[in-house]
Structure 1
Amino acid sequence: MQVASVFELGLPLLMIKPLFATTLQPFALLLLLLRCPLCWISCLLLSLQPSIFAQAQWTPKDALFINCGSFENMTIHGRLFISDEGTYVSGGVAVSTSYNHGQRTNVISEEYLTVRIFTTSTSYHVPINAGMHWIRLYFYPFDSEIFNTHSLLFSVKVDEYLMLGNSDIIAEIDDDRGSDTSVVVKEYCVNATKNFVSITFTPSNPNDTFAFINVIEIVSMPEKAYHSDKPIFVSDHSNIKREWGMTTNYALQTMYRLNVGGPSIEPAGDSGQLRRWDTDNEFIRGPSFGKIAQDKIANINYSCQVPEYIAPPCVYSYARIANNSNSNLTWTFPVDVGYSYLIRLHLCELMFQKVQQRMFSVYLNNQTAYLGLDIMAFVPKDSAYYQDFVIRVPKGPSVLWVQVGRNPSSVATKFEDGILSGLEILKFNNCAKSLVTTSLAELHSLRFMSESYKRRKGVLRAMIGALVVGPVALGTMVAGICFCRRMMQKKAVKSSCLKSQHVRPIVGLVDNISSSRRRSPSTYSLGGSFPFQKVLDATNNFHGSLVIGTGGFGMVYRGLIDGGIEVAVKRANPSSEQGLTEFETEVELFSKLRHRHLVSLIGYCDEQQEMILLYEFMANGCLKNHLYGSDLPNLSWKQRLQICIDSAKGLHYLHTGAGLGIIHRDVKTSNILLDEKFVAKVSDFGLSKMRLTPDRTHVSTAVKGSFGYLDPEYYRTQQLTDKSDVYSFGVVLLEVVCARAPVNTCLPREQVNICDWALHWQKQGLLHHTMDPRLVGDCSLESLQVVGEIAGACLAEKAISRPSMSDVLWRLEFALHQHEAASKISSCAVIIHRAEQSATAGAASPDNITNQELDDQTGDFDDDSVSRLFSQMLNSEKR
């Protein structure tokens, strides 16, 4: 009995972790060992307890909270905040922001009421233990009578990594300015190779800008918390694959951390790492948000492979599950292009007990990341599990899609709906050890800052050049002569090519390119020549982060000219099939065309073997990206109709209002651009053709255009007409209705071609079967039917049977009127229904309540307007 009692005493002592070792006095331990040898076993187990308890808890070696700008230490919410005055930093100005905040001290926590401001580059040197650490920077938008808070342009480096650039924090501070509770937090994961870390704040321009910080938090983290042995690489990551075993060489920035389906989790509830978990409500998209599943936190189990520090139990006790096997759960996240991302999915099966009861798939940026994921194949029910993915977002829309959904394989499962409990997205630094994406504002400020450096550099070069004489000067002269001769030969070849291709000389503003070059850059006019150096400055030497698109002609960059005017810069690719002819065509046509619904040419550049076009910048990109392939906001049916009308107006002007008439020849949704007010404009005239005489109905030319939009009659006869654009516009109309590509070989055979599929249903009066699901409830069937009829007419096999763009334009405006009329009638029906409900409920007479509302809604429907509307409907065929 004595042995049993002692053994029963020993095991509970082991379960209280460090309490046994730290509070039990040595003489008591000796007495226990003398009474029972079995206690030696308990002590042996106690010696192994660090590895056992590491599965559940994490105790950081370093947990430093630096209260910047404070003159004394203070304890807030159970944490000791250390003053930085005379400890970690020497420099900067300590400012208290509470003096002009009034009642703000009752709203915001005390640690944010002091701030340290830097007018010159200043570093914090903080002693820590070597190893992986979380570094969190807290910025609180403050008021100051001394410092201009609109001059917050600065960068932040942690050791050799650039964490913040000049524009990263400014936009968020501006958004939060005036809020009493908003604090901007930047969180990074870095490996400290030494026993200290340096955090450097550098104002962009010491004379005009300054840097600031409120709180710095440094917390050590498990070495392999964000390192899995076998991550799934969704796209090419040769550099990361090669060094994956040394992940500590990378710095990571936390972009998003979500408790999917569950509540937000404050840092104090996160297993020693003090991470914050937000809800996913802001990021989930799509027709279905799924359903929420929940289990008791006490039921969640961890293992050696998935310890509790990976994510707290509250994350795994909630999950969002798709409630329709035909739709995926979709989340979208704004990200920076040109970087790789670690995406961690936290998973926990809360319903089933056996394998193959739930198998779903994971898709990242429309790429298949995992087919047939079965959680039960790895861990039991109610057990924590996670899967890491690495994906690169090289270019295109700055958005990351995460989807979980139905498994398309033939394996029969009981439940195919996707499930997700938590989601983390962290960004890897690039090869320049930077986590900053260069922005236009930053480029502009950097160019401004570098002017004095350039002048000093120019003086130094002049001094060195004056000292270098003799053979060097002679060699330079010889090289210059050879270069000039080579350039003259190339120009002769270019001239002969022009003659052999019978390319007509450019007219209008560009009758003589060489003479326009001689103009001063300050006197160029719209459509004139730009110096190549100015184009380089506008695009930061064609920096990759400024790429906004690509096409057959070449890359398109976003740029700044004349101190802040945004432009789109299209640079010809030397290896592209489109070249000099297309370049001259665009300049020639744009010198004649000015229309509200045609993209304006700002200028061009043909220096140094370059062919570059500068257009007005269209803030909302192309129509295609708003219909499918990105997470851009959904366009309503009215918006889509108006965009089609705008585009038709632009094409109608080309066909009839531009002198002899112009055939676009490449009408498609990617060539319809939208400005900041969603006004549509037609772009890209590189393939356009002009009719030589007014009475000429076609142009005989080689077939060119985009697959899926080509007029079949033009393809057979090589005779290009206005009706070729009409056919392509018919395809655009179907894209607007269906929100899918013209040709998609991944779909069933009968759906591959949008024209065959949509017109099949249109002929049966059932075009709504192909309609974009996002339009349900927003699109009137009457206007949809009219658009379907227009598309069917545009897609007639023979060109003579197709309507002109003027007829297409009129019928589209009629469809818009029908939609607006249906919307008003629907509003009236709702009000009448409400009135009837009020009367049935015994409320006051509804006449006084609803008459005014009915008048407001039906005021436009007088007898004359109704008559005119039905007259148009009856006479539409006669037109």
Structure 2
Amino acid sequence: MQVFNIDDAASVCELGLPLLTIKPLSVPTLQPSAILLLLLRCPLCWISCLLLSLQPRVAQSQWTPRDALFINCGSFQNMTINGRHFLSDEGTYVSGGVAVSISHNQSTNGLSKEYLTARIFTTSTSYQVPIMTGMHWIRLYFYPFDSGIFNIHSSVFSVTVEEYLMLGNLNVVAEINDDIGSDTSFILKEYCVNATRNFVSIIFTPSKPNETFAFINVIEIVPVPDKAYQLDNPIFVSDHKKIERELGVTTNALQTMYRLNVAGPSVEQAEDSGQLRRWATDNAFIRGSVLSMIVRGNITAISYSRQVPEYIAPRPVYSNARIVDNSNSNHMTWIFPVDIGYSYLVRLHLCELIFHEAQQRMFNVYLNNLTAYLGLDILAFARKDSPYFLDFVIRVLEEPSVLCVQVGRSTSSIATKFEGGGILNGLEILKFNDSAGSLVSTSLTRHYSTSSGSESHKRKKEVLGFMIGTLVVGPFAFGTVVAGICFCRRMMQKKAAKFSCLKWQHVRLVTGFGGNMTPSRINPSTASLGGSFPFQKVLDATNNFHESLVIGTGGFGMVYKGLIDGVEVAVKRANPRSQQGLTEFKTEIELFSTLRHRHLVSLIGYCNEQQEMILLYEFMANGCLKKHLYGSDFPSLSWRQRLQICIDSAKGLHYLHTGAGLGIIHRDVKTSNILLDEKFVAKVSDFGLSKMRATPDHTHVSTAVKGSFGYLDPQYYRTQQLTDKSDVYSFGVVLLEVMCARAPVDPCLPREQVNICDWALHWQKQGLLHHTMDPRLVGDYSLESLQVVGQIAEACLAEKAINRPSIGDVLWRLECALQQHEAAATKISSCGRNVHRAEQPATAGAASSDNVITNQELDDQTGDSDDTSVSSLFSQMLNSQRG
């Protein structure tokens, strides 16, 4: 990463920019004779022009808050600190609570006086603060010091402001430990709330009254300029536009998640224009900083306008910028942990510091691999050194719970004529409350705020590390550690190519679709032999992608129900210009157009027109397995149905691993990718992340870590070596979901139950797995079959891949579990082979021969794969259907 000062000619030459384009603006000067001549010609007019020309380029007058209020909680007297007047809360804003202060022998960590007192509440207590109506920043400061009376580690509480739940079950000590990269000893929580009356209520509620307690050190209430955060014309990025358009800042609360001075130092409150905001550095969030260059501008040259007044962001933010280093990359990436299920306001602060003319810097903006803005030209909206900002709204609905911001070089023919790449000066991310008025974090990255100490810190690091590794770091780490110099160079080229393709390309595909059938002639019996469909036919099939036809959504895009020539189809429409979508689109068509199996969802055809990438599949009437287990009102499944669905899924995976050429690894096995047809026959779907082995001798594929959170093989994550056993691990998680009817990771549950693998295997090892079973299955399953399934799941989830069974062995054992269930139900003796190894009385050798089924045995057991019933122990293994 390089740092340049644009007034330094040598630095400019290194940038490869013509010197004329960065000539510093000078203050005009006039000789006395010229001034006299102007006055003689037109005194009134020219005096005005003269005064304007003699003015230096300074900011507009700073906005001054009219009723800013600073409350020193727990203090008995008012005090003035750094020019701000802090008021005591004693007998004024709050009634009740215990005022405490830090003892003289305790370390204050250099904190100012206002943080050294606190008010503690053992029951729900409210601050009633008089304010004027309108938008206000409400900042809550928590500094956990030992009062000698209260154990600060037991402080767990919630905070409500007006009707909005701002904090839930907050443990300040644990959250400080969790705050990766932070060296502060206090927590600041900042919210933007619209006051509709002349006071605001801030309520502190201990999680367990009289057992735990709440506390607060400082409350700041600062008014927000009327137009500072009103969304006049935001750009809605995600597909849920109808929901997001209902968001209005004046009727919602916002929580500040991140506020960054990109490429510059932190900006403290005193440097912000009236709103007293803190701006952190972006070093902890940018990935691959070597791909960017830092440019320093002249802070006094920043010229605000009526459209962008100084209160939008302070001068230090606009006087620094990161720009894309075109010699190394075409993009810059920042990654932020966020909470799933919320909409976010993403504000980009932009200020051109180098060029003067429009179209000299054009770039693209992407949020979570979705196109936010193509061909952004700052100088079309503001002059050089003049600030500008853009507001985007995006909804985060899926794991991993991160928000990825990318600024990349435009690939348009105009932009490629110039050296200017992407630029970013500042960044703000604020979270909207949900429909219930809550801003409380629910994602895994925030869950451990109720745990304590180093363990919490370690686990959050692991979660954040996984997210970052999944999105960005994985390919870099693999290229650096494993590959040689030549291979590393090739991987880096692939990486650059990946991000240069962020907009859709027209993909030329050679597929195995049958050439004898045109899309207009599909019928149920030949639907699996489709081809390329015209976009207009897809529009007609989905009623122009009408919202009422949406049946699902995923990382690839929205899924619609469609009707083509009387045949129901599932139409998966990729998010426009998504690199993830491009890769999955090509993989599904090129790799899976030739695969035909009863327990794999058939790909009917595709559409690749008008920058659209669409995949058409056979329609699965009963949706995904996940919705029949939890999270929806879909009907529940019996134990026998669940076992049969697991068997069907295992058959599909077994075909992928052993019957599809060199062998294919699915890489994203989960309950939402197991679909059910009208007869509840299960089929594996979504092959966009799948990988084929290079040769039969290769037992693994070296590749970047991808998959779904909660299902990821830990050995694959550590080594980046993908194997068949990675699918087996994910399938083990699926088995636990089927038994327990809950998500793999649920941060709303007690800590010991958050991870389904840890929780269920704990009971499995004690022989008490039935304690975790779906209560709807009580009386519907046999303990014998449950024990077998528990043993299968435990084996699948072995830490080392070598200790996991093959999917063929899993399939055989599941068949046995089904036979045991049916035998118990009809009081008939169990199946011939005993799968309880611990209870087997024979010798070790005999146990081995009786309990292990070889791949050759599985290959020999072929037959009619359309038979949906399982009438014998060894059902059909569903190898490739011939013809």
Q: TM-score, normalised by structure 2?
A: 0.50
What displacement does 1:166 show? 0.9
| Whole-Å separation in 1 of the counterparts to 2:271 and 2:203 | 30
| Structure 2 residue corresponding to 1:77, chosen from 71, 76, 82 | 82
What are the residue-to-residue correspondences of 1:344-355 with 2, within 5 Å? 344-355=347-358
What displacement does 1:703 show? 8.8
Does structure 1 conserve the Cα–Cα contact (< 8 Å) formed by 2:244 and 2:343?
Answer: no
Does structure 2 conserve the Cα–Cα contact (< 8 Å) formed by 1:167 and 1:439?
Answer: no
What displacement does 1:174 show? 4.4
- Whether 1:183 aligns to 2:186 is yes
How has the CA–CA distance of structure 1 residues 634 and 313 changed in structure 2, closer, same or farther, with 3 Å as cutoff?
A: farther
Does structure 2 conserve the Cα–Cα contact (< 8 Å) formed by 1:166 and 1:442?
Answer: no
| Whole-Å separation in 1 of the counterparts to 2:729 and 2:84 | 64
How has the CA–CA distance of structure 1 residues 61 and 631 changed in structure 2, closer, same or farther, with 3 Å as cutoff?
A: farther
| Structure 2 residue corresponding to 1:98, chosen from 85, 103, 116 | 103
Flag the structure with more relative contact order, 1 or 2, with Cα contacts below 8 A and sequence separation at least 6: 2
Match of 2:303 in 1: 301
| Structure 2 residue corresponding to 1:290, chosen from 281, 289, 292 | 292
What are the residue-to-residue correspondences of 1:407-486 with 2, within 5 Å? 407-411=410-414, 412-415=416-419, 417-438=421-442
Query: Equivalent residue of 1:172, what SS?
Result: helix
Task: Give percent identity, aligned residues only.
Answer: 57
Bigger drift between 292-301 and 142-151 goes to 142-151
Does structure 2 conserve the Cα–Cα contact (< 8 Å) formed by 1:554 and 1:573?
Answer: no
| Whole-Å separation in 1 of the counterparts to 2:715 and 2:280 | 30
Query: Equivalent residue of 2:311, what SS?
Result: helix
Q: Structure 1, residues 668-699: CA drift from partner, whole Å, max 9, x if none?
A: xxx99897x99997899999467998645343
Does structure 1 conserve the Cα–Cα contact (< 8 Å) formed by 2:171 and 2:449?
Answer: no
Does structure 1 conserve the Cα–Cα contact (< 8 Å) formed by 2:235 and 2:393?
Answer: yes
Match of 1:275 in 2: 277
Q: CA RMSD in A?
A: 5.0
Does structure 1 conserve the Cα–Cα contact (< 8 Å) formed by 2:716 and 2:726?
Answer: no
| Structure 2 residue corresponding to 1:149, chosen from 140, 148, 152 | 152
| Structure 1 residue corresponding to 2:163, chosen from 160, 165, 180 | 160
Query: Equivalent residue of 2:90, what SS?
Result: coil
Query: Equivalent residue of 1:373, what SS?
Result: strand
Q: Structure 1, residues 738-775: CA drift from partner, whole Å, max 9, x if none?
A: xxxxxxxxxxxxxxxxxxxxxxxxxxxxxxxxxxxxxx
Match of 1:319 in 2: 321
| Whole-Å separation in 1 of the counterparts to 2:863 and 2:81 | 80
What displacement does 1:68 show? 0.5
| Whole-Å separation in 1 of the counterparts to 2:440 and 2:239 | 21
Match of 2:625 in 1: 554
| Whole-Å separation in 1 of the counterparts to 2:632 and 2:253 | 36
| Structure 2 residue corresponding to 1:356, chosen from 354, 359, 381 | 359
What displacement does 1:584 show? 3.7
**Partner AA of 1:583 in structure 2:** L
Does structure 1 conserve the Cα–Cα contact (< 8 Å) formed by 2:231 and 2:249?
Answer: no
**Partner AA of 1:107 in structure 2:** G
Give 1 or 2: higher helix fraction. 1
How has the CA–CA distance of structure 1 residues 61 and 71 changed in structure 2, closer, same or farther, with 3 Å as cutoff?
A: same
- Whether 1:639 aligns to 2:714 is no
Does structure 2 conserve the Cα–Cα contact (< 8 Å) formed by 1:331 and 1:403?
Answer: yes
Does structure 2 conserve the Cα–Cα contact (< 8 Å) formed by 1:651 and 1:682?
Answer: no
What displacement does 1:225 show? 0.4
| Whole-Å separation in 2 of the counterparts to 1:201 and 1:208 | 14
Query: Equivalent residue of 1:87, what SS?
Result: coil
| Whole-Å separation in 1 of the counterparts to 2:197 and 2:730 | 65
Does structure 1 conserve the Cα–Cα contact (< 8 Å) formed by 2:128 and 2:199?
Answer: yes
Q: Structure 2 unaligned runs (5+)? A: 1-42, 52-56, 451-621, 651-666, 671-679, 681-690, 692-700, 733-788, 790-794, 817-852, 868-877
| Whole-Å separation in 2 of the counterparts to 1:305 and 1:405 | 26
**Partner AA of 2:437 in structure 1:** K
- Whether 1:252 aligns to 2:257 is no
How has the CA–CA distance of structure 1 residues 679 and 435 changed in structure 2, closer, same or farther, with 3 Å as cutoff?
A: farther
How has the CA–CA distance of structure 1 residues 571 and 369 changed in structure 2, closer, same or farther, with 3 Å as cutoff?
A: closer
- Whether 1:193 aligns to 2:196 is yes
How has the CA–CA distance of structure 1 residues 588 and 272 changed in structure 2, closer, same or farther, with 3 Å as cutoff?
A: same
Q: Structure 1, residues 328-370: CA drift from partner, whole Å, max 9, x if none?
A: 1000000011000000000111111111111110000010110
Bigger drift between 569-578 and 408-417 goes to 569-578
Q: Structure 1, residues 373-404: CA drift from partner, whole Å, max 9, x if none?
A: 01011111111000000000023211100000
Q: Structure 1, residues 804-831: CA drift from partner, whole Å, max 9, x if none?
A: xxxxxxxxxxxxxxxxxxxxxxxxxxxx
What displacement does 1:228 show? 3.6
| Whole-Å separation in 2 of the counterparts to 1:267 and 1:81 | 15
Query: Equivalent residue of 1:627, what SS?
Result: coil
Q: Structure 1, residues 484-531: CA drift from partner, whole Å, max 9, x if none?
A: xxxxxxxxxxxxxxxxxxxxxxxxxxxxxxxxxxxxxxxxxxxxxxxx
Q: Structure 1 unaligned runs (5+)? A: 1-36, 46-51, 447-550, 558-568, 591-597, 602-610, 612-621, 654-663, 665-670, 705-712, 719-879
What are the residue-to-residue correspondences of 1:411-810 with 2, within 5 Å? 411=414, 412-415=416-419, 417-438=421-442, 553-555=624-626, 574=634, 581=641, 583-584=643-644, 586=646, 627-628=705-706, 639-640=718-719, 644=723, 647=726, 688=811, 695=857, 697-698=859-860, 699-700=862-863, 702=865, 714-717=879-882
What displacement does 1:61 show? 0.8
| Whole-Å separation in 1 of the counterparts to 2:722 and 2:108 | 50
Query: Equivalent residue of 1:225, what SS?
Result: coil
Bigger drift between 391-400 and 639-648 goes to 639-648
How has the CA–CA distance of structure 1 residues 716 and 185 changed in structure 2, closer, same or farther, with 3 Å as cutoff?
A: same
| Whole-Å separation in 2 of the counterparts to 1:322 and 1:578 | 56
| Whole-Å separation in 1 of the counterparts to 2:91 and 2:294 | 51
What displacement does 1:160 show? 1.1
Does structure 1 conserve the Cα–Cα contact (< 8 Å) formed by 2:725 and 2:806?
Answer: no
Q: Structure 1, residues 563-603: CA drift from partner, whole Å, max 9, x if none?
A: xxxxxx8779848999964534549999xxxxxxx99x9xx
Match of 1:209 in 2: 212
Query: Equivalent residue of 2:153, what SS?
Result: coil
| Whole-Å separation in 1 of the counterparts to 2:866 and 2:287 | 41
**Partner AA of 2:859 in structure 1:** T
How has the CA–CA distance of structure 1 residues 64 and 208 changed in structure 2, closer, same or farther, with 3 Å as cutoff?
A: same
| Structure 1 residue corresponding to 2:118, chosen from 109, 115, 120 | 115
**Partner AA of 2:404 in structure 1:** W
Does structure 2 conserve the Cα–Cα contact (< 8 Å) formed by 1:135 and 1:188?
Answer: yes
What displacement does 1:129 show? 1.2
What displacement does 1:208 show? 1.5
| Whole-Å separation in 1 of the counterparts to 2:245 and 2:728 | 54
Match of 1:172 in 2: 175
Match of 1:328 in 2: 331
| Whole-Å separation in 2 of the counterparts to 1:157 and 1:321 | 41
| Whole-Å separation in 1 of the counterparts to 2:339 and 2:801 | 24
- Whether 1:222 aligns to 2:300 is no
Does structure 2 conserve the Cα–Cα contact (< 8 Å) formed by 1:553 and 1:572?
Answer: no
Query: Equivalent residue of 1:268, what SS?
Result: helix
| Whole-Å separation in 2 of the counterparts to 1:394 and 1:88 | 39
How has the CA–CA distance of structure 1 residues 279 and 222 changed in structure 2, closer, same or farther, with 3 Å as cutoff?
A: same
What displacement does 1:638 show? 9.7
How has the CA–CA distance of structure 1 residues 555 and 171 changed in structure 2, closer, same or farther, with 3 Å as cutoff?
A: farther
- Highest Rg: 1 or 2? 1
How has the CA–CA distance of structure 1 residues 351 and 684 changed in structure 2, closer, same or farther, with 3 Å as cutoff?
A: farther
| Structure 1 residue corresponding to 2:371, chosen from 368, 391, 394 | 368
How has the CA–CA distance of structure 1 residues 635 and 648 changed in structure 2, closer, same or farther, with 3 Å as cutoff?
A: closer
What displacement does 1:555 show? 3.2
Q: Structure 1, residues 2-43: CA drift from partner, whole Å, max 9, x if none?
A: xxxxxxxxxxxxxxxxxxxxxxxxxxxxxxxxxxx999x99x
Q: Structure 1, residues 204-227: CA drift from partner, whole Å, max 9, x if none?
A: 110311100000001111011012
How has the CA–CA distance of structure 1 residues 310 and 112 changed in structure 2, closer, same or farther, with 3 Å as cutoff?
A: same
